[in-house]
Amino acid sequence: MADYTETISLDDHKLGDRWVGATIGPVTINGETPSETLTRIRMQFRKGAASYTLDSDETEEPDAPITIDDGDTWEGSIDEVDDFLPTAGRWSWDMEFYVEEYDSPLTCYKGHLTVHPQVTE
């Protein structure tokens, strides 16, 4: 089976700077918004053993929050983040979407983000 996850390019980031955030959705699968109501969005960045998690479920104690703006159209947002990724380098990420009917997510988006080192510290 082919990888159905859509690859999205995020703009490069400078270590120590505030990340501008993102708008999510509306998500479509095979050209249509899923019929189930979206209950959770989780985005995780990884570089080696390091990870950074954004999540709409506050009980998971994410590094930064995601807001579900409309569960029916699968839309969300990530506000600006002050304390973003902790090291420079190439970070891989994916974004998972959860609905109440299932325990497993749908991973709809993935990509890489390059974090450039600071010139001054």
Indicate whether 119 belongs to any domain. Answer: no
Indicate whether 30 belongs to any domain. Answer: yes
Using CB atoms within 10 A of its CB, is residue 52 exposed (0-12), middle (13-18) or buried (19+)?
A: buried
Indicate whether 89 belongs to any domain. Answer: yes
Indicate whether 43 belongs to any domain. Answer: yes
Tell me the C-alpha distance between 116 and 113, whole Å.
10
Tell me the C-alpha distance between 81 and 64, whole Å.
7
pLDDT tens for each residue of 74-111: 999 999 999 999 999 999 999 999 999 899 999 999 99
Could you write out the DSSP letters of every residue in 78-91? Answer: E--BSS--SS-EEE
The stretch 13-18 carries a mean pLDDT of 95
CA distances in angstroms from 59 to 53, 55, 56, 66, 72, listed in the order given: 13, 9, 9, 12, 22
Domain that holds residue 61: 19-108
pLDDT tens for each residue of 91-100: 999 999 999 9
The pLDDT, as a whole number, for residue 30 is 86
pTM, rounded to two decimals: 0.92
Domain count of the fold of the chain: 1
Indicate whether 117 belongs to any domain. Answer: no
